[in-house]
Structure 1
Amino acid sequence: MNLSETIKNIRTTCKNYVDPDLLAFIIDDENHMITNNISEITKYGITDEDTYEEKLLKIHESENIYLPLGMMTFMPVLNECDIFSEKDYNLQLTSEEFSQYADEKERLFGILIKRGSDEYIIGKSDTCSCSVDSCFEKLEKSDCEFYNTIEKIVKEKIID
């Protein structure tokens, strides 16, 4: 994965679900959010002249980075999920899919990129709630429409 180009690609289309200057989240090893205010970070060798992408690349050498790719909202009773990303999707889920993936509140979904590597995990976060205990949670892979749609969105955003 070309991380710099992937970040640029995501930032150009993320206004539908997140402020481009608050796109990335630093996530600790227990999957809790540390911060998403990248512009205020001064360690990791960051300088005032660095672009957003350059700052993230420097941070990524020491920290896990979460990049949201959209937002999902589940509707109980209807077993529906609305996915808001660069494109919007409305999915009718089976009862099993709904049980496996649904949340009561809106969630961001995206990729957690492991520090200093190209390795990523597809998951969701409750970081849009701005709670002190906001965290990232891996989405369990399955062969269903919901997961396949999320995976398709991820693959469209990653630049090799």
Structure 2
Amino acid sequence: MNLSKTIKNIRASCNNYIDPNLLAFIIDDDNYMGTNNILEVEGYGINDDDSYEERLLKISKSENIFLPFGMMTFMPIINECDIFSTQDYNLKLSQEEFDLYHDKEEKLFGILIKKDSNEYAIGKTDVCSCSIDASFEKLEKTDSEFYKTIEKIVKEKIID
């Protein structure tokens, strides 16, 4: 994965679900969310004139980074999930899929890039890091329509 090109690709089309300047979240080793205000982060060898992508690349050498690719909302009783990304989806889920993936609140989905690597995991986070228990949760890979849709969106955004 070309991280710089992937970041530019996501930022170019993420307005539907997140502010491009608040795109990436720092995730600690215990999967708890840190800041997403990358333009105000200091240290990591960041210079004032570094672009957003340059700042994020420098941070990613020392920190895990979550890049959201969209937002998902689950609707109980009717077992549906609305996915908002560069394209919107409305999925009818089986009871098993719904039980496995649903959340009571909206969640961002995307990839967690492990520090100083191109290794990533598909998962979800809280919409903001303002809660003390806000965290990243890896999605269990299945052959379900839900997971395949999330994986398709992820693969469309990653640039090699």
TM interval, shorter chain, is over 0.9
CA displacement at 1:108 relative to structure 2: 0.4
Superposition TM-score, scaled by structure 2 size: 0.98
What is the CA-CA distance between 1:34 and the residue it aligns to? 1.4
Report the AA paired with residue 156 of structure 2. Answer: E
Does structure 2 conserve the Cα–Cα contact (< 8 Å) formed by 1:33 and 1:127? no
Letter in 2 for 1:43: G
| TM-score, normalised via structure 1 length | 0.98
CA-based RMSD: 0.8
**Is the CA contact (8 Å cut-off) linking 2:22 and 2:37 kept in structure 1?**
yes
Deviation sequence 1:66-114 (CA, Å, 0-9, x none): 0001000000010000000000000000000000001111000000000
- Post-superposition Cα deviations, 1:106-137, rounded to whole Å, max 9, x if no partner, equal 00000000000000000001143631221000
1:131 corresponding residue in structure 2? 131
Other-structure match for 1:56: 56
Structure 2: where are the runs of 5+ without partners? none
- Aligned mates of 1:33, 1:59 — CA distance in 2: 14
How far apart, CA to CA, are the structure 1 residues paired with 2:76 and 2:49? Answer: 47
Residue 72 of structure 1 aligns to which amino acid in structure 2? M
Q: Using the alignment, how far apart are the partners of 2:26 and 2:129 within structure 1?
A: 16
Show the counterpart of 1:158.
158
Q: Structure 1: which amino acid aligns with 2:131?
A: S
Equivalent residues in 2 for 1:26-65 (5 A)? 26-65=26-65
Cα distance in structure 1, aligned partners of 2:130 and 2:78: 28
Between the aligned partners of 1:42 and 1:125, the Cα distance in structure 2 is 23
Structure 2 letter corresponding to 1:25: F
Amino acid at match of 2:132: V
* Structure 2 letter corresponding to 1:92: K
Paired letter, 1:49: D
Number of aligned residues = 160
AA matched with 1:8: K
The residue type equivalent to 2:97 in the other structure is E
